[in-house]
Amino acid sequence: MSQTPASSVALLEQNRVPEPVAAAWEMIRAGLRRDCGSRTFDGWLRPVTLGGFDVDTGTVRLELPSQFMADWVQTHFADRLALAWRTAIPSVRNVAIRAGVEGPRTAATVQIPAAEPDEAPAEEQGGLYAPQLEPRYRFESFVVGKANEVAFNAARTLANTENVAFNPLFIHGGTGRGKTHLLHAIGHEFRVRRPGARIIYMSAEKFMVEFVAALRANETIKFKQQLRSADLLMIDDVQFIAGKESTQEEFFHTMNEIISAGRRLVISSDRAPQDLDGIEPRILSRLSWGLVADINQADLELRLSIILKKLEALPDVKVPQDVVMFLAKRISSNVRELEGALNRIAAYAMMSGRTIDLDFCNEVLANVLRANQRRISIDEIQSKVSDHYRIRKAEMTSARRAREVARPRQVAMYLSKQLTPRSLPEIGRRFGGRDHTTVIHAVRQIEKLRAADAELDADIRLLTRQLES
């Protein structure tokens, strides 16, 4: 179902999509495949088709074969798709993700509740950057365990308490552990407690893109006024502004304005403030000023609770207890991948009419299970290599090019490529936002040096054994 340039022309004629929009969609698809990896792209994003474009409202329609898949893409990729479209074609203001006209409505569809009558319209609450908060990401649906209870309690306190003892709140943890869920939950709760409050949620990447767009359009004053007037400002994945000096300058002043005015600021990242290299010290100081709460990897008990909570929203999907335990034990990398595996077996079971059992799970989740067998993360590789070469772990993401730092960093990139299923762009992002070509160079360089340097080859063999043991 993948669209080629020829299929885009056919779609152009059928739905009267402007040719630049069709061309932009081909470019966006290529970027998604590169950034997300073939496994995620083939499983969920390849079936997405360009359904049409409304010039008057600036709305792009994206369609999927079923409502179940549309809901999944909406939950996991809506922000990324919206940002990609806005970057490619500034006239695109909205991205609507839905099932096609012929697409079946599955029984597993989670109904999105309507807005409460006393809620103010989004435009009034957040202006130009009104948040599109995910309705399912609330405190009630967040499963709490030892790994995340500090972050959960801090988030709930900030959202509910009239006078908090900390500001900002900085939440950090690895990919797929629930940081974004907590930020959306804070937004929902804050809106209930303070009707009409101005709430802004955006990724750090969107902050950067919007700031650059405002500079080009000579609208920086409007940009500043919108963000600094927020009663609650939430910035997700702040590590993405590392090395972006002008963006950091604006971010610093926005932080100061929000905190000085007594408004609330919530920041998330994949690392603790002291491990964020490429971020100005004055920003790191502000981030550490409030409360820093981490989300650790979910243990078996928490993973079981998450699966059972997820199944409550899928009443027509029957999953035996042995399958639940199997999933909780075998998929331990992150919560997002665990939920994605459950979504996949539910979707495949409904589409094929087969019963969910262990054989079915092994067949449907073969790639996921192979990836989780290793249980080696980029974070673990960085830690192990840093210890071996006696350098700070923060050097893995630093801009320093001294040999004593650059060579261990290349070794870690090489091992990340060899021992994890992560894509080259994702590996680059975990090493201080580097480009995928930097990772390719590191891999080729280490392969070349291993053949000529027996000591380096021995180091890599030792590190590999330690990581796989």
According to DSSP, the residues that pair with 235 across neighbouring strands are: 202, 267
The one-letter amino acid at 88: A
Q: Distance (Å, rounded) from C-alpha 226 to C-alpha 222?
A: 6
Sign of CA dihedral 92, 243, 40, 112: negative
Q: How many Cα atoms within 13 Å fall on the side-chain side of residue 297? A: 12
Contact in structure between 296 and 325 (CB atoms under 8 Å):
no
The pLDDT value recorded for residue 148 is 92
* Residue ranges in the chain whose pLDDT is less than 50: 1-15, 102-126
Q: Report the 3 state secondary structure along the chain.
A: CCCCHHHHHHHHHHHCCCHHHHHHHHHHHHHHHHHHCHHHHHHHHCCCEEEEEECCCCEEEEEECCHHHHHHHHHHHHHHHHHHHHHHCCCCCEEEEEECCCCCCCCCCCCCCCCCCCCCCHHHHHHHHCCCCCCCCCHHHCCCCCCCHHHHHHHHHHHHCCCCCCCCEEEEECCCCCHHHHHHHHHHHHHHHCCCCCEEEEEHHHHHHHHHHHHHCCCHHHHHHHHHCCCEEEEECHHHHCCCHHHHHHHHHHHHHHHHCCCEEEEEECCCHHHCCCCCHHHHHHHCCCEEEEECCCCHHHHHHHHHHHHHCCCCCCCCHHHHHHHHHHCCCCHHHHHHHHHHHHHHHHHHCCCCCHHHHHHHCHHHHHHHHHCCCHHHHHHHHHHHHCCCHHHHHCCCCCHHHHHHHHHHHHHHHHHCCCCHHHHHHHCCCCCHHHHHHHHHHHHHHHHHCHHHHHHHHHHHHHHHC
Q: How wide is the angle at C-alpha 456 spanned by C-alphas 455 and 457, nearest 5°?
A: 90
Q: Distance (Å, rounded) from C-alpha 258 to C-alpha 306?
A: 35
The pLDDT value recorded for residue 375 is 64
Cα Rg for the chain, rounded, in angstroms? 23
Full-model pTM: 0.58
What are the structure tokens assigned to 143, written together?
């499963």
For 69, residues 6+ apart whose C-beta sits below 8 A from its C-beta are 44, 47, 99, 347
The pLDDT value recorded for residue 268 is 94
Contact in structure between 332 and 297 (CB atoms under 8 Å):
yes
Q: Distance (Å, rounded) from C-alpha 15 to C-alpha 49?
A: 12
Q: Do the bridges between strand 49-54 and strand 59-64 make them parallel or antiparallel, or are there none, so unpaired?
A: antiparallel
- Tens-digit pLDDT profile for residues 65-86: 877 778 778 877 887 888 788 7
Q: Hey, how many other C-beta atoms are within 10 angstroms of the C-beta on 421?
A: 16
Q: How wide is the angle at C-alpha 207 spanned by C-alphas 166 and 58, nearest 5°?
A: 130
Q: How wide is the angle at C-alpha 287 spanned by C-alphas 282 and 292, nearest 5°?
A: 150
The pLDDT value recorded for residue 449 is 92
The pLDDT value recorded for residue 128 is 57
What are the structure tokens assigned to 116, written together?
């409460």
Q: Distance (Å, rounded) from C-alpha 304 to C-alpha 335?
A: 11
